[in-house]
Amino acid sequence: MTWGDALSPVVDAVFPPRCPLCGEAIAAQAGLCSACFAEIDVPGEPCCSACQRPFDIAQPDGSICGTCLQDPPGHDGIAAATLYGEGPRKLVLSLKHGGRIALAPMMGRMIARQATRVDDTWLIVPVPLHRWRIWRRGYNQAALLAREVAHTTGAHLLVDGLVRAKATPMLGGLGRKARRRTLSGAIQVDARHLAMLKGKKVLLVDDVLTSGATSDACVSALKRAGVETVLVGCFARVIEDGQ
């Protein structure tokens, strides 16, 4: 039994467990109430084997969506805990901008459950933030999620495997091509870890996967460094036409 397990009844008595989405009483600190969890859309079959994009109808195993056929992804698959919707949006905003870092363990475990390929031979690398943004926010939410994924899977956390070499503006509102131009040269592998990364399998962790521009930049940097496999793990996957 860990100290956390031993102190859990005391914590629950002082701070009764509440659902982080609706505030209803729940049985344990780390979780959602049944009603809110039912509103979380978890990716499943049938879906594209390359990017996890849902299919409207059943498809043979290994089927690839039209988007991936036209523009094959550089990554080796996506493991998304949820499809972006109202519930996941609230959780992401609470973690990312609301300072509710206590949500990270639950959200990280949800990513780990989808990343079934990951074991203790993998490396877990978070999408990096520029140092000035970390200074303003106080933390990198992707790193908090990555820490829990590593703990759950037994994989090794390489928190500074990637660095954001230059500050970039917020990408919201930019098109896919504009996002890629903005991120050009911004993300690099930390030279200190080149030997560790070469030939390894990496789970790249972020909170939200939107256009894929940021993850593409990270995947490209990792592949150039000799990483064998890069699986993209995220808490919420945004599905839009053309993605």
pLDDT of residue 167: 67
**Domain residue spans of the chain:** 1-39, 41-237
- The Cα–Cα gap between 189 and 175 comes to 25
For the chain, give the mean pLDDT. 86
Question: What is the average per-residue pLDDT within 17-38?
Answer: 80
Output 181 or 58, whichever has higher pLDDT.
58
User: Is the pLDDT confidence value at 39 over 50?
Assistant: yes
Q: Are the beta carbons of 195 and 42 closer than 8 angstroms?
A: no
| pLDDT over 60 at 86, yes or no | yes
SS3 135: helix
**CB 173 within 8 Å of CB 154:** no
The vertex-139 CA angle with 135 and 140, nearest 5°, equals 110
What is the mean pLDDT of the segment spanning 102-127? 95
User: Are 236 and 80 a contacting pair, CB within 8 Å?
Assistant: yes
Question: 2 Cβ partners below 8 Å, 6+ apart?
Answer: none
Confidence category of residue 14, pLDDT binned at 50, 70, 90: very low
In percent, how much of the chain has pLDDT > 90? 51
User: Does the reported pTM lie above 0.85?
Assistant: yes
4 pLDDT more than 50: no
| Cα–Cα distance for residue pair 6/215, rounded to 1 Å | 39
Quick check: 30 pLDDT over 80? no
Phi-psi group of 240: left, alpha or beta (phi > 0 → left; psi -120 to 50 → alpha; rest → beta): beta
At residue 201, the pLDDT reads: 98
What Å distances lie between residue 157 and 4, 27, 68, 119, CA to CA?
Answer: 21, 30, 29, 12
> Which residue, chain included where needed, has tokens 């890069």?
230
Residue range 172-212, pLDDT digits in tens: 555 666 666 666 677 899 999 999 999 999 999 999 998 88
Which region among 79-83, 126-130, 182-186, 194-198 has the lowest average model confidence (pLDDT)? 182-186
Between residues 241 and 143, the one the model is more confident about: 143
How high is the pLDDT of residue 25? 83
- Res 1 pLDDT > 60: no
> For residue 243, which amino acid is it?
Q
Kindly calculate the radius of gyration of the chain based on its CA atoms and give it in whole angstroms: 18
Closest CA to 231 of 203, 198, 199, 200: 203
What number is the average pLDDT over the span 147-161?
97
User: With respect to CATH, is domain 41-237 assigned 3.90.105.10?
Assistant: no
